[in-house]
Amino acid sequence: MGAVSDCVDLGAACRSARPEPPPTRFHQVHGANIRVDPSGTRATRVESFAHGVCFSREPLAPGQVFLVEIEEKELGWCGHLRLGLTALDPATLAAVPEFSLPDLVSLGHTWVFAITRHHNRVPREDRPEAEALAPSRPPALLVEPYVCIEQFRIPRDRLVGRSRPGLYSHLLDQLYELNVLPPTARRSRLGVLFCPQPDGTADMHIVINGEDMGPSARGLPAARPLYAVVDVFASTKSVRLVQLEYGLPSLQTLCRLVIQKSVVHRLAIDGLHLPKGLKDFCKYE
C-alpha cells in the first residue's frame, strides 16, 4: 500500500494547473526511408529496415509525453521500435544517422533505448539495486486513473493501447490495460518524457501502455531543449502520435468513458442513438 499512497499524495501535490503543451508533431527532418503524413502525426518507413529515425517537431515541455501507437508491423526483420530523447536540434544535423543506436547516440547528448519488457532502469544511489529490476505495479483493483511519474500526474486513459473494435475487443483491451502483451505489439502505446530534478538535471522515463517503466537515464541537461527520438526500426513499420489531455478531461472524453463503460464491447456503440462523430470517437480513441 505504500507505493499506492505515495502516488496518491504526489497526485494531490501536483494538481495545480500547468500550461497545456502544444499538440505533438513529427519533425520535417527525419530518416531517408521515413514518410510523414501531411498532418505530421503519422510516420511510416517505406522500405528496408533502417533510416527510420524521427524527431519531435518541437522540444518537449517538462512532463510532456511524446506518445506513439504502433500502427503497422512488418515481418521478416529482427528488432523493434527505439525511443528516447536528444539535446541535438534535428535542424542542425548534417545528415540523419541510419540508426538511433548506436549512430545517433554516438553524436552525444542523446539517450535512446530499444523497447523491451525488461526495460533498462537506473536505480538511485541511495536505493537498493533491486529497484532497477522491475517497476512497482499496484494491484489491479488499486490502479489510479492517473499515472504519477515523479512530480507529474498524467491521465492514464489515453496512454493505454486499445484493440480494433470487434466482438472480443473488450477482452483484448484488458490485455493492454494489464500490460501483459509484448510492449511492441501492434496498437501498443509507448511514450517518453523527462522530469526535472532539483540539481538542474532531468530523468528520462519511458511509459508502456500506461505503465511507467521508471527512470531510464539520469543527468539529462534540463536547461537545454530536449527533442523526442522515435526510431521506426525493423519490424516496426508505422507509428502515429496520440495526443494527451494534461488538465481536466474534456466533456467529450468524459462522455466517451461513460459510454464505453455502459456497453459490453465497442461494436455495440453502433446501436446507440448518438451522432456518428461521437460513435467513432468512442470506438476508435
Mean pLDDT of 162-186: 77
Mean pLDDT of 136-142: 43
Domain boundaries, the chain: 26-125+189-244
Look up the CATH number of domain 26-125+189-244. 2.60.120.920
Statement: residue 126 has pLDDT above 90:
no
Q: How confident is the model at residue 122 (pLDDT cuts 50, 70, 90)?
A: low
Cβ 194 vs Cβ 62: under 8 Å = yes
Nearest CA-CA partner of 238 in 27, 43, 82, 66: 43
Report cis status (omega within 30 of 0) of the bond before 138: no
What pLDDT does residue 1 have?
A: 39
Which has the higher per-residue pLDDT, 1 or 207? 207
Mean pLDDT of 127-143: 46
Cβ 147 vs Cβ 212: under 8 Å = yes
Cell of 95: 545528415
19-46 pLDDT, tens per residue? 788 999 999 999 999 999 999 999 999 9
Statement: residue 13 has pLDDT above 50:
no
Measure the CA–CA gap between 210 and 155, rounded to whole angstroms.
Answer: 9
Which has the higher per-residue pLDDT, 176 or 198? 198
Mean pLDDT of 69-77: 95
Cβ 101 vs Cβ 242: under 8 Å = no
